[in-house]
């Protein structure tokens, strides 16, 4: 099999893993450091089981790794630069979003949150 086919297939698998909004948000949250499932769940505002299922998919595909601290399980990105790579992906959707001012504003606010440009008060107000 040609090397480009193998590389394309592997990249396609990664894109498939990243194809869920919850998993993208988990990657961005873990971009600042490790967190436990309860912390991730609180930020995402989804059920514990939904958070755990998405973490399991990310772990199975070696995107996140876990570390145990007693009964507590902490998750971190296997390759922290993935968070920046995902954040850089926002540049590719900005052109499409320009038609909708609301979407453009949401994308820009998310980028600022993930890059740590907003205060804690704004983070709490913009959790979604």
CB 18 within 8 A of CB 27: yes
Q: Percent of the chain at pLDDT above 90?
A: 60
Same domain, 102 and 67: no
Q: What is the CATH number of the domain that holds 74?
A: 1.10.10.10
Structure confidence at residue 73 as a pLDDT band (50, 70, 90): very high
Q: Is residue 29 part of a domain?
A: yes
Q: Is residue 84 part of a domain?
A: no
**pLDDT higher at 111 or 56:** 56
Domain region containing 32: 1-78
Same domain, 8 and 70: yes
> What pLDDT was estimated at residue 122?
43
In tens, the pLDDT along 12-51 reads: 999 999 999 999 999 999 999 999 999 999 999 999 999 9
CB 107 within 8 A of CB 94: yes
The per-residue pLDDT of the chain, averaged, comes to 85
> What pLDDT was estimated at residue 97?
55
Q: Percent of the chain at pLDDT above 70?
A: 84
Same domain, 18 and 51: yes
Cα angle 116, 117, 121 (rounded to 5 degrees) comes to 85
Q: How many CB atoms lie within 10 A of CB 103?
A: 14
Beta carbons within 8 Å of 35's beta carbon, 6+ residues apart:
29, 74, 75
Inform me whether the pLDDT recorded for 127 exceeds 70.
no
Structure confidence at residue 62 as a pLDDT band (50, 70, 90): very high
CB 58 within 8 A of CB 64: yes
- How many domains, the chain? 2
Q: In the numeric block, which tokens belong to residue 123?
A: 């983070």
pTM exceeding 0.85 = no
Same domain, 60 and 123: no
Inform me whether the pLDDT recorded for 123 exceeds 70.
no
């Amino acid at each position: 099999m040609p090397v480009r086919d193998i590389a394309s297939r592997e990249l396609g698998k990664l894109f498939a893993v990243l194809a869920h909004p919850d998993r993208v948000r988990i990657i961005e949250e873990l971009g600042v450091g490790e967190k436990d499932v309860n912390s991730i769940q609180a930020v995402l505002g989804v059920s514990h089981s939904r958070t755990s299922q998405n973490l399991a998919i990310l772990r199975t595909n070696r995107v996140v790794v876990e570390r145990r601290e007693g009964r507590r399980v902490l998750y971190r990105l296997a390759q922290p630069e993935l968070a920046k790579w995902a954040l850089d992906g926002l540049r590719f959707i900005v052109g499409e979003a320009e038609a909708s001012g609301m979407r453009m504003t949401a994308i820009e606010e998310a980028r600022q949150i993930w890059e740590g440009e907003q205060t804690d008060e704004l983070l709490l107000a913009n959790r979604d």
